[in-house]
Amino acid sequence: MLGWGLVLLILVYAGAVSKKVVGSLFIGAVSIVAFSAVIVTYVAGREDLAEGAENLVGRINFFQSGSLEDASSLERLYVLEAGIEMFAENPILGGGAGATRNWHLRASTHNQVVLLAAELGLVGLALWGSLLWILSKGEYFSNCRLQVGGALLAVYFGMFSHNLFNSTHWLLAFILISSRYGNRERA
């Protein structure tokens, strides 16, 4: 949700979205939050969904308490620390491609940068930096701010996911944003 807020801010800053659209999106977001509260209340009242409801409520409680004590948050912290430790043990070349898929932990790092550092070391970090540079220098958008915004979104989403290179929609977005055949006028 925060990611889409960031997308909206970038689009407003670039002048690609009108204030009327922002107002409509705000009303839609408030409606979604209200509807979500109804769903959470319903799920919490069902005994057959108790385990899932506990997980859901634990995740949502973060917004009230700021506490990251639910099982998912603790697991994310643990795998993130394990990824950083793997990078520290092998800083130049990392632990090897796929090392975080084959380790003893149930999940991967939940962070694209830490995943690249853990598996590919400084080489992986250099590749990540190269991708961001290519994204920011592409010519798909006529507005240069949108190009930089695309690179910043990759950074943002990469902080919370380790699957950016596994998902077709992300790869297609990267290809389009880095394209030299977009809407920017040639000099």
Instruction: Summarize pLDDT for 54-71 with one digit per residue, the tens.
Output: 766 666 666 666 666 767
Instruction: List all residues 6 or more positions away from 166 whose beta carbon is below 8 Å from its beta carbon.
Output: none
Which segments within the chain are labelled E, that is strand? none
Residues 109-134, mean pLDDT to the nearest whole number: 91
pLDDT attached to residue 187: 47
53 vs 147, more confident: 147
pLDDT attached to residue 157: 83
Q: 20 pLDDT band (50/70/90 cuts)?
A: confident
At 80-97, the pLDDT tens digits run: 899 999 999 999 999 999
E strand or H helix that includes residue 77: helix 71-89
Q: 122 pLDDT band (50/70/90 cuts)?
A: very high
Answer yes or no: is pLDDT of 126 > 90.
Answer: yes
Tokens of 61: 């409680």
Answer yes or no: is pLDDT of 134 > 80.
Answer: yes
Summary count for the chain: helices (H), strands (E): 8, 0
* pTM for the structure as a whole: 0.64
Give the mean pLDDT of the chain: 80
Q: In the chain, what are the domain boundaries?
A: 1-67, 68-187
Residues 21-37, mean pLDDT to the nearest whole number: 81
Rounded distance between C-alpha atoms, residue 60 and residue 54, angstroms: 10
